[in-house]
Structure 1
Amino acid sequence: MGVTFAHKSDRSLPQPRAVLTLIKPITWFPPVWAYLCGVVSSGVPVTAAPVAVLLGMVLAGPVVCGMSQAANDWCDRHVDAINEPDRPIPSGAIPGRWGLWIALAMSLLALALGTVLGPWGFGATVFGVAAAWAYSAEPVRLKRSGVLGPGLVGLCYEGLPWFTGAAVLSAGAPSGPVILVALLYAAGAHGIMTLNDFKALKGDRLTGVRSLPVVLGPERAARVACVVMAVPQVVVVGLLMAWDLPFHAGVIAVMLMAQGAAMRVLMRDPKGRAPWYNGTGVMLYVGGMMVAAFALRGMGG
């Protein structure tokens, strides 16, 4: 690809700070939050299984999500050399093949911890680890697709942790309403992930990643992302009304209207305002997730 890495030093070991940067703690919040939504929606008191709750949070965030970030950075090192040359791998702060070894070691750690959460927790962990590598690594590399890539990430960031939290606390398969609402919020997260792709627009174009911002252009991609985020929430509001939960439905509807106002601001400059929207509209989105989780708890999970 004609990309060279501008190593800042001839290190043989990774810088500890660079390892923390590699696994991106800022990205741990969504899966941890979704896991807690699953815990709440199960209807089982947290005090009934505090170890499972804490372990699940660690597994969903620092371990599985952190591993996925390390795997993605390793597989994207040539793209990052264009978009973010100061990232740990292209900058040389994590030298040689250390990025790969860290991702593989964390994959094994995730599988080991998953066994502690029982068959449902372990099964979900296996799926999450496999999905992380399928997203980033050749020859599968689903991130090349602007449809499949964000869809898989949305599923693993929101739907899978929610399902896992509910299953672990219930010691069995979650109820139909819990699975349905988790899937709806996972589908809406496709739009969040599309907005996240704006920051890699230049490198994606040069390296053949067909993200929606590359394929459709920033304005159309942002419009699609807004629709994809909004429609599942409208369905959730309708379901809660049908389940005779008007208060929770009303709270989510108000949050959705606030997102609509933020979306109008986003559309004035989609590429420039995407990071701003991730700090405003997305917080309203995940807030609605917890409201829905409490609603499901009220109907017995």
Structure 2
Amino acid sequence: MPSSDAAATSPLLQTLLNHVQLLDPVTWLGPWQCFCCGVLATGLRLSDLTLLDGVKFFLACGLIGPLLTGFSQSINDYFDRHLDAINDPERPIPSGRISLSAARANFTLTGLLALGNMSLLYVITGSLLILILGIAGLFLAYAYSAPGFRLKENGWLGTTSVGIGYCLVPWLLAAHLFSREPGFPSFHLALGVVNALVAMGLITMNDFKSIEGDRKNNLRTLPVLYGERGAMLIAFAEINLAQVIFVITCLLFGYVTIGWLGIAFFVPQLVQQVQLYRAPNDSRLLESIGRNAAGRSLVSQSQSGAHPGFIRFLVGSNLLTVTALTAVSIVHGYWH
């Protein structure tokens, strides 16, 4: 009987794991988070769920995570293989664990499955907006990396496309699939924009890890254009603008208590930003993550070595997520 170690290193399983790594499952969490918050914000309760709602939720989670986001990561790895050879040589393509033809097959199949998924959602709901949102997300994922567009070569266009594709599209998809109101109420539009701005700040910080390769290849990311601290200030401004819009939205819709809660969460976020700006390469938090097996699975050594402060910023900015989850819970009476 083969041992578990032998099974774990079998060629078929290793090939499958390499293809999954190309889809970068960790990156699915952000879009899923936006989608789930968007569902909560519609006021949908467990007692109101129908079998159709369950099917829509399952299909939408597959579309947003493994398919749209996975397609984005896979095609980005393919067209950025020369950059990854410098910035992240452990990735499947530069390390030689996946051939170029296999990588093309990966993102082609993922893109086709995304089209099939959104078409099925269209058949179930009869809403053309589902197709429009899905195709918009797929196009942005392609345009971000592919030649002819290469939005990522412009720091402003690249971060904006990520914010829209990873956060605004999932939130609006949730609002359209589960809201009992037609179209997109202004409340959902505002919170979708809030999440998009957060994503723009995070992707700006994430670009620090590849700043060396980006400079060599003349990519005009924000850290390359404005330097480390200049790009930090841009990221902080985007995150803080998101928090301001969130608070104003709550106050305009009459949720005064939640608005004050947003302000309360804003304070530690500002403190964390000041600390990061003063010591951007403080690696103490990252080292504590690296000592944990789960942490090592989420953060590659090349990422951690390039810009340790990104992890601290990610943790600090997620205070906004706590605010959003708390807000939609109180708004719709999940807490009594």
User: What TM-score do the two structures reach when normalised by structure 1?
Assistant: 0.89
Aligned to 2:256: 246
Matches of 1:250 and 1:83, distance apart in 2: 42
Instruction: Give the structure, 1 or 2, with the largest relative contact order (CA under 8 Å, sep 6 or more).
Output: 1
Structure 1 residues 209-288: aligned runs within 5 Å: 209-270=219-280, 272-288=307-323
Post-superposition shift, 1:279?
Answer: 3.9
Instruction: Choose the corresponding residue for 1:62, options 48, 61, 66.
Output: 66
Q: Which residue of 2 aligns with 1:112?
A: 116
Asked if 1 retains the 8 angstrom alpha-carbon contact of 2:153 and 2:221, the reply is yes
After alignment, is 192-201 or 241-250 more displaced?
A: 241-250
Q: CA deviation at 1:165?
A: 0.6
How far apart are residue 149 of structure 1 and its match? Answer: 0.2
TM-score (norm 2): 0.80
The answer for the alignment partner of 1:135 in structure 2 is 144
Q: Matches of residues 125-164 of structure 1 in structure 2 within 5 Å?
A: 125-164=134-173
Letter in 2 for 1:54: F
Provide, for residues 176-231 of structure 1, a one-character-per-residue CA deviation record: whole Å limited to 9, x for no partner: 22112211321232111100100010111111111110111101111111111101
| Contact 1:42/1:296 (8 A) holds in 2 | no
1:4 match: none
* Structure 2 counterpart of 1:60, one-letter code: I
Alpha-carbon distance, 1:292 to partner: 4.2
CA distance in 1, matches of 2:100, 2:198: 38
Aligned residue type for 1:219: R
Equivalent residue letter for 1:93: R
- 1:74 equivalent in structure 2: 78
Answer whether contact 2:154 2:221 (CA < 8 A) is retained.
yes
| Distance change (3 Å), C-alpha of 1:31 and 1:98 | same
Sequence identity, in percent?
A: 31
For residues 130 and 32 of structure 1, the distance between their equivalents in structure 2, rounded to whole angstroms, comes to 19
Alignment map for 1:154-233 (pairs within 5 Å)? 154-170=163-179, 172-233=182-243
Distance 1:144 1:14 in 2: 33
Say whether the 8 Å CA contact 2:239–2:317 is kept in structure 1: no
Deviates further, 50-59 or 84-93: 50-59
How many residues matched? 288
Q: Is the 8 A contact 2:168 2:192 kept in 1?
A: yes
* Matched-pair contact (CA < 8 Å) for 1:41–1:297: yes
Work out the CA distance in 2 between the residues paired with 1:239 and 1:35.
19
Gapped regions of structure 1 (runs ≥ 5): 1-10
8 Å contact from structure 2 (residues 201, 234) kept in 1: yes
CA distance in 1, matches of 2:237, 2:115: 36
Q: Offset at 1:88?
A: 0.3
